Amino acid sequence: MELIIKLSEQCLEVHGDHSERFAISSARNGAGEAMGSQATPRGRHVVRARFGAGLPQGAVLTGRKFSGEIYTPALAGQHPDRDWVLTRILWLGGLDAGLNQGGSVDSFQRFIYIHGTPDSEPMGTPASHGCIRMRNADLVRLFDQVPVGTLVTITE
């Protein structure tokens, strides 16, 4: 199995025993690898860690741990500037030395995730701080198919 993320089309494609396509939202700042750029890194990655198995949709993850909160519009109103990481996390590590691995371009050290987001957030439009955002229901379906070690290629 391999995941292909196409930034120009704002989609994630699953290639393997079956094919699927999901709408995503990548970085508002476009493609880029530099630490602090809030851009989505390109190139070959691998799923290095998974978090959130078994949690309910809308579970709020802080520091990759369940905060005990479930996202609601009322909770969002109490924290208007919070960058919501919901439901599940697939943490990516770069495989291309000098592009997305090592030094000031390391995707893993930049905490680049595929994660859930509030349903009110747009899909198909770049809006994240570097991560790949997905609808929670889509992410639950994807998460169950994606083991650690899955190849993820991000193209412009």
Longest pairwise C-alpha distance within the chain: 43
The CATH number of whichever domain residue 132 belongs to comes to 2.40.440.10
Contact 134, 122 (CB under 8 A): no
Q: Residue 128: what pLDDT?
A: 96
- Give pTM, 2 decimals: 0.96
Domain housing 25: 2-155
From CA 23, how far away is CA 6, in angstroms rounded?
A: 10
From CA 25, how far away is CA 32, in angstroms rounded?
A: 15
Residue 104 phi/psi, 5° resolution?
Answer: -90, 10
Instruction: Say how many domains are in the chain.
Output: 1
From CA 57, how far away is CA 101, in angstroms rounded?
A: 31
pLDDT per residue over 24-64, tens digit each? 999 999 999 999 999 999 999 999 999 999 999 999 999 99
pLDDT per residue over 72-86, tens digit each? 999 999 999 899 999
Element (H, E) at 141: helix 136-143
Joined tokens for residue 117: 């987001």
Arithmetic mean of pLDDT over the chain: 97
Q: Name the β-bridge partners of 25.
A: 133
